[in-house]
Amino acid sequence: MADTFLSIAPHGAEAETGRPAPDRLIAGDPVFSTWNLEERDGLYCGIWRATPGKWRIVYDEWEYCRIREGHSVITGEDGIARHVKAGDSFVLRPGFVGTWEVIETTTKDYVIRL
């Protein structure tokens, strides 16, 4: 029987590392670490961490986030800057366009639905 309970913790999983695409980078040299713990039927969840920097974001999917640690500023095309810190939860809906700026290394739990 398959396990039907998933703990959102890396439990020895190896992180994938990356950076924003060069054409999206605005400032700094942010590095991403992603522990993708579930991937099935268009659903992804896990843990993501980014070091300081700023880049453009474009969302074609739904993403629920809960900030574990750090401080980031997410600014939409409307110019509204939203500061997110440990304990904050939010959803970015398809069509969200703007920037993500990591002020202090930020770690989040995420659930993405395509």
Other beta carbons within 10 Å of 15:
15
Cβ atoms 24, 12 nearer than 8 A:
no
Which residues constitute the domain of residue 53? 16-113
Q: Is residue 3 part of a domain?
A: no
Q: Is residue 38 part of a domain?
A: yes
**Domain containing residue 50: CATH number:** 2.60.120.10
Q: Is residue 106 part of a domain?
A: yes
- In tens digits, the chain (114 residues) has pLDDT values of 468 888 888 777 789 999 999 999 999 999 999 999 999 999 999 999 999 999 999 999 999 999 999 999 999 999 999 999 999 999 999 999 999 999 999 999 999 999
- What is the per-residue pLDDT for 14? 87
Number of domains in the chain: 1
Q: Report the distance separating Cα 70 and Cα 107, nearest Å.
A: 6
Q: Is residue 100 part of a domain?
A: yes
Q: Is residue 2 part of a domain?
A: no
Q: Is residue 7 part of a domain?
A: no
Query: What single letter denotes the amino acid at residue 101?
Result: E
Q: Is residue 10 part of a domain?
A: no
- What is the per-residue pLDDT for 2? 62
